[in-house]
Structures are given as structure tokens and as C-alpha cells.
Chain A
Amino acid sequence: MDLLNAIVALANFVIVPATAYGAQLALGALGVTLIYGVLRFSNLAHGEMMAFGTMLTILVTWGLQGMGVSLGPLPTALLALPFGILGTMLLVLAVDRSVFRFYRQVKAAPVIFLIASMGVMFVLNGVVRLIIGVDERIFVDGARFLISAREFKQMTGLNEGLAIRTTQVITLVTAVVTVAALFWFLNKTRTGKSMRAFSDNEDLALLSGVNPEKVVTITWLIVAALATIAGTLYGLDKSFKPFVYLQILLPIFASAIVGGLGNPIGAIAGGFVIAFSEVTVTYAFKKVAGYLLPEAWEPDSLVQLLSTDYKFAVSFVILVIVLLFRPTGLFKGKAV
């Protein structure tokens, strides 16, 4: 019984939240890594693209809610998501045509791209705040819980409750579907193969007749979709606040780099590594230890490695360690 209680406590506060968070980071990191693989620069505006996509989705969600459309137990935002993706695609293409294409034509160094993307970040940052404001927006509707802590306790008779929110399940399912579709596209379709060829060796790909502008356009379209999905899932599961998307840019980049920049599998692994370490290192294991250890050994302290204030620092420590010992990331990516 004690063992079960310990497992449930751990699942409730570590495993379930970290898995959902990991899926959100993985989707974000995939977008960063694709841009790095194909266009060869770190796109700092990615967080704001997520915010922009989420904002569009929220606006459409409000519209749908106003018309009385709903998905029953599922959030209406899922219905609005395609519109958000379309809008973000248009925005991202416009940005590419007006900013990044110029630097591609003059064959600018990656650091110039990086700085240009920072400029794009600031502009998008302002646009999002102008349109939707700086306040917190909660746009989730439908059933809140798949199973709530109280129901779980009644069902099992355990001391510990396990709450699984609908949004956490949706996050995971959507992430799996999206990743599966992306890998099918990259590995099986002609366009996907030409993207990988372009990423591996630009000159050889050009010689074999790959159209570079087409590859770039497709990449941006995929990235826009990924960014909107990741942003909306994060906003659904937590809450939407423009400032937050600037903050999660850090763990997203950490995920992409830890996994190996330019390597999609690495991005997913990196997302989960970062999410689990953030949550585990800052979790207080007192309760779990209390269930597992004999009474005499029960700890008085919280058994917490780091205060939760240092959550974001964890990603950086992992980043530094990985870069010191494996500069190309856990999976073989490109050296930064």
C-alpha cells in the first residue's frame, strides 16, 4: 500500500506534469531544430511565433465559442487550431520573404541571421501584445479532468490522489500524432527527402536538382504548424500570457541543443530530458520517502535538491554539461 501511495504521489507531481511539459518542449524544439537543419541558423523568434499562433487560435476559439460551437468534453481550441496554423504560416512566409530571404541571397553569416531573428522576435513580441494585450488568457473549455484527485482517492482508497487533466492527455496525443506525421513526411515523401538532402549537404542537393526556395518554404510552413501546435498546447495546459513564451524559449533551445541541433529525434529526446530534470531536481521527495522508508528513517527535511526558483537554471546546467562532453548533443547533431 505504501509503495502504491509513493508511486501515485510521484506520478501526480512528477511523471504526469513532466510528460506533458516534455511533449510541449519537444514540439517547440522540433521547430527550432528544423530551422537550424535546413536554414542553418538559430531562430530566436520561435517563441514569439508560438505566441502569435496561440493568439490566433485563441481569437478563433472565442469566435467559435461566441457562435456556440463546442467539441463537448474536448476544448474548442482544437477546432480553432487549423485556422491558427494557417494564419501563422502566412505570417512566417511574410517574415521570410521580407527579412530572411535577403540575408540568404547575400549569403550572410549565421550570426547575422541570429541577430535578424532577434529583431523579428522583438517585433512579433510587440505585435502579439498590441493585438491581445499582456494579460493572462484562459481559453480552455470542456471537461477539465480525465480523472480528478478526489475521484482517484475514492476509487482506489489510497491516501494519495492522482489528477490527470484532459489537456495533459490531449497534449500527449497531439504531440505523438504530430511527430509521427512529421517523420513520415521527412522519411517517405519526395519533398521530405529533398529537405533532408538539403540539410545534409546543400551543394550536392543543389546539383541533384533540389529547388532551394521550395525547400525553404516547406520548412517554414512545417515550422509554423509546429510552433502553433506547441504554443496552443502549452497555453491550453497552463495558461496563455505573452511574456511566458519568451521564458520558454530558453528550455526549448536547451532541449534542441542537448538533443543535437538539426536532429529531429534528438529534439524530442532533449525535450523530455529537460522537462524531467527540471521537475525531478526541484521536487521535494519528503512524502515519497516517507512512504518508502521505515518510520525511523523518515526525513525531517524536504529532500529537495534545488528550490523551485532555480527551475530554469537546471536546463542551463544540463546544457553546459552536454556541450562540454558532447558538443554535438546526445544524438549526433551539428556542432554549435
Chain B
Amino acid sequence: MKKLLAATAVTALTAGTAFAGGHAEEIKLGVILGFTGPIESLTPQMASGAELAMAEVTESGALLGGAKVTPVRADSTCIDAGAATAAAERLITGDGVKGIMGADCSGVTGAILANVAVANGVVMISPSATSPALSTAEDNGLFFRTAPSDARQGVVMAEILLEQGIKEVAVTYTNNDYGKGLADSFEAAYTERGGKVTINAAHEDGKADYSAEVGALASAGGDRLVVAGYVDQGGSGVVRAAIDSGAFDTFHFPDGMISDVLESRFGSEIDGSTGQHPGTDSPGAAKFAEIVGDAFDASSPFTPESYDAAALIMLAMQAAGSSDPAVYKDHVLHVANAPGEPIYPGELAKALKIIAEGGDVDYVGGTAVELIGPGESAGNYRQIEMKGGEISTVQYR
């Protein structure tokens, strides 16, 4: 009884302070990304991107009468659903975040959404979860993503390969929601357009040796090997084993494989390989690079998406006039899409002001955000090629 009394008293007190701070409240936003694990080389830039948007808004003093937005980082590990769920639970119950920028990998994102976000009614905007399965996940209108579904990436990938006259490929994917979803959507799109997938085989991350996997891929044959994996994990292992055994000379890399690590590990050994990752040549991308400056690498995959995800949360709060996720969740699509004044990176203060005055905004951001269907990006891709050991842009599509 004594404990219960004490607990009630504490709750009452904290609730009291929350009300007292109502005018210039401090809004905490969770940044939950895999700071350790298979995409740990990408996440620091992603987090910096999101935190940049928060700093911009705080500085403007225009959100909900001068609210201060503070990021709280948590580690999703990318692969361990249990650890990710616990981290998200802590963010919501411990830190009291009003929204989550994250998570990153599709598997943990689905787990956090189902177990924590929906249960606690907190909005989640993922910058990089691309599994098609998330389009149909039960989300109570709480889940959005600034990255396109891989159903779209599969189509783009099939088109790129066929345009180059590649009619037969072998596919290997990392054995999780992301890899499987992408490999399946690619196979469907490629076969439909007349290509042939000779083998669609999984590889496990974290092994020392992939010669057995490559043996099977080589036996099936194909003009190019599609590696739907992670560059910090098994993806690189498969590429290394394929080059060493002479099984494949050129590869095709989806988003999880494209990073500086690819250049530093293989360099000119994989010249002629192709790939694509979400990206755009809209003026937003350049503006984003401009405001980032030398602070971090603005062209790293999913970095502008992270900025956009955080920006959307805060703009929706402004449109709703409340930081309560149950209220502002209905305004996310509204601020992201036309009609309204187009908003580019670095113009968040302007956007907040327009909304406060009752106007309409169409958030374009760093990635030409256009949310379709159940709240996911329509998708723009940067097509790349390996030339002289470096990743170079071919075109945007």
C-alpha cells in the first residue's frame, strides 16, 4: 500500500511538471538505429541527419510556441528484434519520447512497430526500412517511411539490368526480412520482364567463409551476381569469395551494399558492377548537402531520408498543434504531400511559420518526399556504376 501511494505521488508530480512546462515544452524524439551490427557504418550519418533537423527546429523557436526538441539515441542492432524492442520500450516508457525516427532494418522495425509503437500509440517514421511486408503491417496509422518499399526497388533493379542487356542473373540475399523481400520482389519483376533468375539463394551473415554458397551460385550461372545483402556483413564475404574463385566478375548491388566500404574493400576488382540506392537529383539533395557542410557525409545512404523523417514528425506536430502522437499522426500525410508551399532542407523554420499562420506546406526535403499508399515514399533511385574503383552516378530514376 505504501509503495502504491508513493508511486501515485510520483506520477502526480511528474504529470504536474509536464503541464507546467506546457508553454515551452521539451519534446523528446527517439532516434533508434543500428549503431552496432550489420549497417553500423551507415547509421552515424543517418542519426546526424535526423539530429540536424531537430537542431534546426529548436533553433527556430517556432515549433508549438518555442518547444525544444532533443534527440534520444537507442541501438536497434539491426538484427536482434529482442534488443531493439527493449530499446524502444525504454525510449517510450523511460525517456517519454513523442515520436520515433527509426528503426532502420526491416525486421527490427516490424518488431518495434508491432510490440512497442502500436501498443503505446507512438508515431514511427523509418528512414530505411524497405521490406514490402511493412506496407500491410497493422499500424493504426502510426507508421510511415521516407524510404520506398522494396517492391519498387525490385522493379527499378530489373529495369536497370535489362536495359544493359543482362538477361540471366544469380541472386543471393541475406537471410532476413530485408533480403528476402527484396530478392523476391526483384525476381518477380525481372521474370515478368523476360529475365531469368538462375538461383535465388540465401546466405547467413557473420560467417567466415562463403565458398560453399558461391559454389552453388556459380554452378547455377548467370551473367551477373545480384547481392541483396549488407556490406559490413555477409554481402562482402560473398563478393570476396566470388571474385577469388572466379565465379563472377561483375555484380549488381542494391542499397544495403552501397557504401564507402565497398570501394575500400574491392576497389577496381569489381569495375563494371552496377547498383542503385534511394536517392534523388531534386534540388533538395543539393540543399541538404549544403546545410550539412563538412559536419558529416550527406550523400551516405539514407542520410537525407533520416533528416526528412525527423522533419515530418515535427511539421506534423505543428500542423496538429500538439506533440501528442495520437493527434499528430493524422497530419503526417498532409504536410508531406501537395498542395502547399514546397519546403526544402534548411527551410523548416519557414514551414513551421506557414503552418502556424494556417497555411499549407508540401514537404519536399532532401529526397523529394511524396508519401503514397499506407504512408511510404514513392521512391527515387540513384543508379550507380563502379568505375576505376569508385562509385559513380549514372543517372537518377
Given the contacts A241-B206, A241-B208, A309-B202, A13 and B215 also touching, CB distance less than 8 Å: yes
Q: Which of A71-79, A115-123, A285-293 is the contact stretch?
A: A285-293
* Chain B 229-264 per-residue mask, 1 if CB under 8 angstroms from chain A, else 0: 000000001000000111100000000000000000
- CA A308 – CA B203 in complex, angstroms? 8
Which 4 pairs, one residue from A and one from B, show the smallest C-beta to C-beta distance? A149-B246, A161-B246, A13-B215, A284-B219
- CA A324 – CA B383 in complex, angstroms? 56
Contact B212 A283 (CB under 8 A): yes
Q: Identify which of B212, B218, B246 contacts A279 (C-beta below 8 A).
A: B212
Contact A153 B220 (CB under 8 A): no
Cβ of A311: which chain B residues have Cβ within 8 Å of it? 212
Cβ of B216: which chain A residues have Cβ within 8 Å of it? 282-284, 302, 304, 307-308
Cβ of A240: which chain B residues have Cβ within 8 Å of it? 208
Contact A234 B212 (CB under 8 A): no
Q: Please, which residue of chain B has its CB at the minimum distance from the CB of A235?
A: B208
Minimum distance in angstroms from A86 CB to a CB of chain B: 25
Minimum distance in angstroms from A247 CB to a CB of chain B: 8
Cβ of A21: which chain B residues have Cβ within 8 Å of it? 209
A-B contact pairs, 7 of them (CB 8 A): A235-B208, A239-B208, A286-B220, A287-B218, A304-B216, A308-B201, A308-B212
Cβ of B206: which chain A residues have Cβ within 8 Å of it? 241, 243-244
The interface size bin for chain A is 35 or more
- CA A243 – CA B207 in complex, angstroms? 9
Q: Judge if B175 is at the interface, Cβ distance under 8 Å.
A: yes
Minimum distance in angstroms from A260 CB to a CB of chain B: 27
Cβ of B211: which chain A residues have Cβ within 8 Å of it? 13, 17, 279
Minimum distance in angstroms from B243 CB to a CB of chain A: 9
Not counting A284-B199, A304-B216, a sample of 18 additional A-B residue pairs whose C-beta atoms are within 8 angstroms of each other reads: A17-B215, A153-B246, A163-B246, A244-B208, A279-B211, A282-B212, A283-B215, A283-B216, A283-B219, A284-B215, A284-B219, A284-B220, A286-B221, A302-B220, A307-B201, A308-B216, A309-B202, A311-B212
Q: Judge if B341 is at the interface, Cβ distance under 8 Å.
A: no
Cβ of B237: which chain A residues have Cβ within 8 Å of it? 239
Interface residues of A in 198-253 (CB under 8 A from B): 234-235, 237-241, 243-244, 247
Cβ of A285: which chain B residues have Cβ within 8 Å of it? 219
Q: Judge if B213 is at the interface, Cβ distance under 8 Å.
A: yes
Q: Judge if A14 is at the interface, Cβ distance under 8 Å.
A: yes
Minimum distance in angstroms from B264 CB to a CB of chain A: 11
Cβ of A234: which chain B residues have Cβ within 8 Å of it? 208
Cβ of B213: which chain A residues have Cβ within 8 Å of it? 308
On B, residues with C-beta under 8 Å from A are 175, 199, 201-204, 206-209, 211-216, 218-221, 237, 244-247
Q: Judge if A150 is at the interface, Cβ distance under 8 Å.
A: yes
Interface residues of A in 272-324 (CB under 8 A from B): 278-279, 282-288, 302, 304, 307-309, 311
* Chain A 3-44 per-residue mask, 1 if CB under 8 angstroms from chain B, else 0: 000000100111001000100000000000000000000000
Residue among A13, A150, A163, A235 with max Cβ neighbours from chain B (10 Å):
A13
Contact B245 A149 (CB under 8 A): yes
Residue among A12, A153, A237 with max Cβ neighbours from chain B (10 Å):
A12
Residue among A234, A244, A286 with max Cβ neighbours from chain B (10 Å):
A286
- CA A311 – CA B285 in complex, angstroms? 45
Q: Identify which of A153, A161, A244, A287 contacts B207 (C-beta below 8 A).
A: A244
Cβ of A288: which chain B residues have Cβ within 8 Å of it? 219
Contact B219 A165 (CB under 8 A): no
Given the contacts A12-B245, A241-B206, A302 and B199 also touching, CB distance less than 8 Å: yes
Cβ of B245: which chain A residues have Cβ within 8 Å of it? 12-13, 149, 161, 163
Q: Judge if A148 is at the interface, Cβ distance under 8 Å.
A: yes
Residue among A9, A163, A308 with max Cβ neighbours from chain B (10 Å):
A308
Minimum distance in angstroms from A310 CB to a CB of chain B: 10
Cβ of B215: which chain A residues have Cβ within 8 Å of it? 13-14, 17, 279, 282-284, 308
Cβ of A152: which chain B residues have Cβ within 8 Å of it? 246
- CA A286 – CA B221 in complex, angstroms? 9
- CA A14 – CA B237 in complex, angstroms? 18
Contact A13 B208 (CB under 8 A): no
Minimum distance in angstroms from A293 CB to a CB of chain B: 14
Q: Please, which residue of chain B has its CB at the minimum distance from the CB of A282?
A: B212
Minimum distance in angstroms from B370 CB to a CB of chain A: 38
Given the contacts A307-B201, A308-B216, A238 and B208 also touching, CB distance less than 8 Å: yes
Cβ of B199: which chain A residues have Cβ within 8 Å of it? 284, 302
Cβ of A309: which chain B residues have Cβ within 8 Å of it? 175, 202, 204
Contact A163 B244 (CB under 8 A): yes
* Chain A 136-176 per-residue mask, 1 if CB under 8 angstroms from chain B, else 0: 00000000110011101100000001010100000000000
Cβ of A284: which chain B residues have Cβ within 8 Å of it? 199, 215-216, 219-220
Minimum distance in angstroms from B170 CB to a CB of chain A: 11
- CA A153 – CA B247 in complex, angstroms? 12
Contact B208 A286 (CB under 8 A): no
Contact B218 A13 (CB under 8 A): yes
- CA A9 – CA B204 in complex, angstroms? 24
